Structure 1
Amino acid sequence: MEFAVNEISMIVEQVLKNLDLSKVSAGNAPASPKGDYGVFENVEDAIEAAYQAQKIYLDKFQVKDRQRIIAAIRKVCRENAETLARMVREESKMGRYEDKIQKHLAVIDNTPGPECLTTDAISGDSGLMLEEYAPFGLIGAITPVTNPTETIINNTISMISGGNSVVFNVHPSAKNVCAYCLRLINKTIIDNGGPANLITMAKEPTMDTVKAISSSPKVRLMVGTGGMPMVNALLRSGKKVIGAGAGNPPVIVDNTADIKKAAKDIYYGASFDNNLLCLAEKEVFVLDEVANQFIYNMVEEGAYLLNGVQLEKILNLVFKFDGKYDVNKKWVGQDAGKMLDAIGVEGKSDTRLLICEVPHDHPFVMVEQLMPVLPIVRCRNLDEAIEYAYIAESGNRHTASMFSKNVDNMTRFARKIETTIFVKNGPTLNGVGIGGEGYATMTIAGPTGEGLTCAKSFTRRRRCMLSDGGLRVI
């Protein structure tokens, strides 16, 4: 077999890189365990490899190197966005392929990198003070099945921008595509001169691997994206935790709203990726005087209005009842048309969203389902709508939205609901930079207060003080 000159050059370059990395690892630190571009057979090796990689990263690489590596990660992930979207859909069997492409591109292009780590400086008669954003070290990150590779890409850009390394515990139902994504990013990091194993994972993620990561003294910070039980478990780990929990976002449509726009935007947001995003619209509270007009426009957009019999059938299909209503996970993120087919409604396979009129305490209102089923509650006045929305949101403080032309009405609701994201007159997707201003994130830390996370969220503030007026020219 003959090799082209450029192929030989690439091989030599890679061998030299590996030699350089082995020299760095051969100091006081033990040699890093061998894995498959960051994917390890056991979690202890994944932890150790990422721990050693972060030491190299901090010691041998500058901020400009981080910027170069992040740019390369964005490029390769952008080139593979369609592949990742297809693989996520095939493995998780949730959501919509075309919407997953948009989610991937959002985090690839709109997750801030090292540029957001600005330095604060104060110079005075008593000296010079600098405050900078320093890494925690090794971060343990738990990722969900609803946005598996999107969260890996988002967390990776944010966390390694801050100088950290990451050991991921991915959701078992998306472990193959997550391993593919992680290998892709690790290879890109190495090909661009970065350290091997800057991000790692165990090949077979379980609750035991979560426990191993959260209890390891080498892991300095835990980050969890998913349900509240997981976040609460991490909070008991004794470590600093950044937790992104449940949502169940309510929407209010008042009597001053542009009803046609409200219907269009809510339809788009609630049907996007079959409502898998925690920030997606989950229930609508509409003032009675515009309710008929709103429902008519929702149907005009393409929503299927369930009658009473069909509503009962859908409820029994997608929920389990054992003293309380719980979501039947089999139906999370499934197509609305598939649900209609399951209850005997034929010829509606292209339906993206089901809507239904229900009382304010209906299970579809009170339980976050992550399905394209949108309950609509008629309200007598704005006070009632705000109260019902507040109850449905359940204190998650995640996301809420409102359609109104009355600033006072929107202000009243925003102050009452206290959510991390509050969107006015647009789909809630706008709140994470999809069709709106601002940066993107898949880790919206409401429970622990960091809000929409970025590189700053995964760093610690360090102050450096030069006393006695040093370096001043006045």
Structure 2
Amino acid sequence: MNKRSVFDTVCEAIDASKSAHKLYIKLGISDREEIIRELRKELLNHVDELAQIGYEETCMGCVEDKVVKIKLAIEKTPGTEDLLSEVLTKDKVMTLYEYSAFGIACAVMPSTNPVATVINNVIGLLAAGNSVILCPHPRAIKVTKYLTDIIATTILKVCGIDNLVSTLSEVSMKNISEIMHHPDVNLLVVTGGSDIARQANKCDKKVISAGSGNPTFIVDETADIEKAANCIVRGASFDNNILCVTEKNIVIVSSIYEKFKKALEKENVFYIDTFDDMLKLSKVLLTEDMKPNKFLGGKSVSEILDFAGIEFHGDYRLIAVDVPKIHPFAIEELLMPVIAIVKACNFEDALEISLCLEQGLRHTAGIHSNSIERLNIAAKTMQTSIFVKNGCSLDGIGFSDDNPVSFTIANRSGEGSTSARNFARRRRCALIDAFSIR
């Protein structure tokens, strides 16, 4: 069955998107709000099936966690309310600052989080007034086409505009590059690998670019250890640790190591602290060049332990493994439910190690400490786009307390956690000769 707004060629997709945008810019903000409101309502009817299709196609993560991600993207992604207008009045000039659309946006999606990222980007890009061409990862083409059909059909029913959001029937680096370099495409939003981000930055246009991350969290001797362990396991185990922001390594002050280890084990963590088991794990999780084995990306704890030939009993949420700070488990982003534990002499040593492990990527980091001074020092030193104090990594992107949700963390181009205002141009309009009523 043919899907709406799915095109066989780049030219067809761009022509359709261009025509759609010409109609879309004639609508007002209230029309955009109606479109987004109806999209949210319709997409909520498809959460479970989108999670299931995404899991079956990518073979990563777990369905239950994908349901949570997708619902959050639908309900908590900021819309037009994010486009705040500003005004400055002087005696003879009024200056207005408002956000305008870029035009046609190309949104490149990751394989690790295709559905939630598509929904999050589409709502933000439509709120900003853009039309959108989705470029999914080849491992997620089926679910993206299905989702595009739902989105495009809903928009057509609401406002009569077809192809405001579209995608391709097949994707490759060649046709994604063709879209990114096309003169009619005005904005590139890249969520995912560094290679595609580097290509995007070679294009002569606005680029909002996410890049690699290696989220590192410190636990010092003043921390609430039980709470820290709970937060870390909640984040690192979520969807089998394929989200870019979730804890990948923990730097622990050695004086509380034993207490922290016991706290992790209480959270249903399989702890590896022997050389033999660490070697078994390394052999299956790493390739010959010491890079992560992508075949095991997003697999469950039981699948990984089975592959490694490590005996276990029970259903575990996460694997923790003691490693030196130069081990690939600590310096590479595995995207598996495996967290590296690195010991430090004291807080100062822990901060220095964390800085090395984060590698200047400026993505995500955090700390568990009851010292206000250390919380402040760590945040200033790490300079990451997302920094979490005494919480779970998921809190940093809006998983708690009714915060706005973002699934594109633009650490490479500097916007950080993105929303609608990042997908629009900030424009300045000046009215001369007296508009003040003061």
- The one-letter amino acid paired with 2:262 is Y
What's 2:31 paired with? 65
> Which residue, out of 70, 73, 95, partners 1:104?
70
| Structure 2 counterpart of 1:408, from 355, 373, 382 | 373
Aligned to 1:15: none
Q: Secondary structure at the match of 2:230?
A: helix
Aligned alpha-carbon RMSD (Å): 1.3
The answer to whether 1:426 aligns with 2:391 is: yes
1:256 partnered with 2:222: yes
* Alignment match of 2:307 (pick from 342, 347, 350): 342
- 1:79 is the counterpart of 2:45: yes
Is residue 2:239 matched to residue 1:294? no
SS of 2:291's partner is strand
The answer (yes or no) to whether the contact 2:242–2:298 under 8 Å persists in 1 is: yes
Q: Which moved more, 1:381-390 or 1:339-348?
A: 339-348
Contact 2:367 2:375 in 1 (8 A): yes
Q: What's 1:47 paired with? A: 14
Q: How does 1:27-426 map to 2 (within 5 A)?
A: 36-59=3-26, 61-306=27-272, 307-322=274-289, 325-346=290-311, 348=313, 350-426=315-391
* Contact preservation (8 Å) 1:260, 1:297: yes
Aligned residue identity for 1:37: R
Partner-residue secondary structure (3-state), 1:326: coil
Partner Cα separation in structure 1 for residue 160 and residue 407 of structure 2: 25
C-alpha displacement at 1:437, in angstroms?
A: 5.2
Q: Deviations over 1:152-174 (max 9, x none)?
A: 10000000100000111100001
CA deviation profile, 1:207-258 (whole Å, cap 9, x unmatched): 0111111110000111100122221111011221100111110010000000
Q: Output the CA distance in 1 between the equivalents of 2:389 and 2:132.
A: 35
Distance in 2, matches of 1:97 and 1:318, equals 23
Structure 1 residue 123 displacement after superposition: 2.6
Q: 1:455 aligned to 2:424? A: no
**Displacement, 1:347?**
5.2
* Number of residue equivalences: 436
TM superposition score normalised by structure 2:
0.97
Unmatched segments (≥5 aa) in structure 1: 1-34
Q: Distance in 2 between matches of 1:49 and 1:387?
A: 51
Instruction: Please give the alpha-carbon distance, in whole angstroms, between the structure 2 residues aligned to 1:129 and 1:412.
Output: 38
* C-alpha contact 1:340 1:348 (8 A) present in aligned 2: no
List gaps (5 residues or longer) in structure 2: none
Give yes or no for contact 2:280–2:310 (8 Å, CA) kept in 1.
no
Give, in whole Å, the separation in 1 of the partners of 2:362 and 2:131: 29
State the distance in 1 between where 2:325 and 2:180 align. Answer: 39
TM-aligned CA deviation for residue 37 of structure 1: 1.6
Look up the equivalent residue of 1:438 and give its one-letter code: N
Greater shift after overlay, 167-176 or 457-466? 457-466
Contact 2:3 2:146 in 1 (8 A): no
DSSP-derived class of the 2:186 partner: strand
- Tell me the alpha carbon deviations over residues 87-136 of structure 1, each in whole angstroms, 9 at most, x when there is no partner: 11111000011111111111111110001112111233213222110000
Offset of residue 194 of structure 1: 4.2
In 2: Cα distance, 1:305 partner to 1:121 partner:
56
CA contact (8 A) 1:66 1:161 kept: yes
* Identity rate, percent: 38
Distance 1:376 1:436 in 2: 29
Aligned 8 A contact 2:297 2:334 in 1: yes
| 3-state SS of paired residue (1:321) | coil
1:142–1:66: structure 2 CA closer, same or farther, 3 Å change rule? same
Please tell me whether the aligned partners of residues 280 and 309 of structure 2 are also in contact (alpha carbons under 8 angstroms). no
After TM superposition, the score normalised by the length of structure 1 is 0.90
In 2, Cα distance between equivalents of 1:204 and 1:113: 30
Report if aligned partners of 2:283, 2:308 keep a CA contact under 8 Å in 1.
no
**Counterpart Cα distance in 1 of 2:17 and 2:3:** 13
Secondary structure of 2:171's aligned partner: coil
CA distance in 2, matches of 1:351, 1:233: 39
Write out per-residue CA displacement over residues 317-369 of structure 1, whole angstroms, 9 at most, x where no aligned residue: 011023xx111110111001111112233554622211111111111001111
Q: C-alpha separation between the residues in 1 aligned to 2:43 and 2:93? A: 45
Letter in 1 for 2:9: N
